Amino acid sequence: MSTEAVIKIFDPRTAKLEPRGGKSSIHWDDIAAILATLERENPVGYQMIMVNYRDDKQQERALRDNVTKWAKTFCSKSQLADRPLVERMCQTVVDLQFHRPLSSQHRSLQHLHRLYGPYAQRETTRMKKLKKMLSKELREDRISYLEEQISAARKNINNWVVGHAQASTHCPRCRGTGIINQPQHGTCPVCNGERHIAPTHREIVRHISSNTGQVEMYLFVMDECRWWLSASASAATTRLCELFEMNRDG
């Protein structure tokens, strides 16, 4: 059974409880016990799994607290002076790990949502029609009405693209699938098939601090933090499979 399947069974929103005498060899309470063991043995790995597969906000807060503790310890061991910067860099690693939009990324994401977002496209088309009607209109009351409609459409588009840019990095061009069908079937040229819009190096640096030189000097910290999180998640996934097999065999 995959990690995703285990998490789905445990999720109360999708769980189907079965009696001990049922046909299934694994039950909700078995999964709960397995995950409790995993959380006790590898809390960071457990948190990574729960955030990745369930978007668990409580576990994400706990994970970020652990990342802050790791950053403080790393600063102490490596004798790094700028601890606040290191902590922010490590929190940025979490953002990148789970495809959270960076503040410096919002403008580029808004631009993509304007170009490819279905609502923005519909409202832009409607706004063009309204402008065409306005250019031919002579009655003052009708002119005022059309101007109000155009202004409202523009505001709606702005609110829509801003909201979507702040909420997700899913590619607007392929709707997060990584594949397009028009003009021909193939890999999405905007996200290169990755499904998410990855921030550029410059956007990452700008998100962390305006002191780009200091950020560049400390970039190795992000690599260390990323390795630690990836190793924790990998170990947790392996252990989860082991616990599942032990429980099933038992």
- What is the structure's pLDDT at 29? 80
Check: CB of residue 161 under 8 Å from CB of residue 124.
Answer: no
- What is the structure's pLDDT at 20? 44
Give the predicted TM-score (pTM) of the model: 0.83
pLDDT of 15 above 50: no
In a domain, 178, yes or no: no
- What is the structure's pLDDT at 120? 93
- What is the structure's pLDDT at 4? 66
Check: CB of residue 38 under 8 Å from CB of residue 46.
Answer: yes
CA-CA distances (angstroms) from residue 147 to 114, 139, 156, 241? 21, 12, 14, 61
- What is the structure's pLDDT at 244? 83
56 and 98 share one domain: yes
In a domain, 131, yes or no: yes
Q: Provide the mean pLDDT of the chain.
A: 89
In a domain, 241, yes or no: yes
* 198: nearest Cα among 102, 115, 107: 102
Q: Which pLDDT tens digit goes with each residue over 141-151?
A: 889 899 999 99
Query: Domain end: 167, 182, 205, which one?
Result: 167
In a domain, 199, yes or no: no
159-173: average pLDDT: 96
Q: Which pLDDT tens digit goes with each residue over 193-237?
A: 999 999 999 999 999 999 999 999 999 999 999 999 999 999 999
- What is the structure's pLDDT at 181? 87
Check: CB of residue 180 under 8 Å from CB of residue 174.
Answer: yes
Do the bridges between strand 179-180 and strand 186-187 make them parallel or antiparallel, or are there none, so unpaired?
A: antiparallel
In a domain, 233, yes or no: yes
133 and 75 share one domain: no
110 and 96 share one domain: no
pLDDT of 126 above 60: yes
Helix (H) or strand (E) holding 180, with range, is strand 179-180
Q: Which pLDDT tens digit goes with each residue over 24-82?
A: 556 778 888 889 999 999 999 999 999 998 899 999 999 999 999 999 999 999 999 89
45 and 57 share one domain: yes
The Cα–Cα gap between 112 and 95 comes to: 20
- What is the structure's pLDDT at 26? 65
Tokens of 241: 């499979």
Q: Give the residue numbers spanning the domain of 151.
A: 104-167
16 and 94 share one domain: yes
pLDDT confidence bin for 154, thresholds 50/70/90:
very high
59 and 126 share one domain: no
pLDDT of 130 above 90: yes
Which of 4 and 235 is assigned the larger pLDDT? 235
Helix (H) or strand (E) holding 34, with range, is helix 28-41
The neighbour count for residue 171, using CB atoms within 10 Å, is: 24
In a domain, 185, yes or no: no
Number of helical H runs and strand E runs in the chain: 11, 2
7 and 92 share one domain: yes
Check: CB of residue 99 under 8 Å from CB of residue 199.
Answer: no
pLDDT of 17 above 50: no
- What is the structure's pLDDT at 70? 98
The Cα–Cα gap between 230 and 238 comes to: 12
Counting the structural domains of the chain, the total is: 2
pLDDT of 19 above 50: no
pLDDT of 161 above 60: yes
45 and 15 share one domain: yes
72 and 16 share one domain: yes
114 and 80 share one domain: no
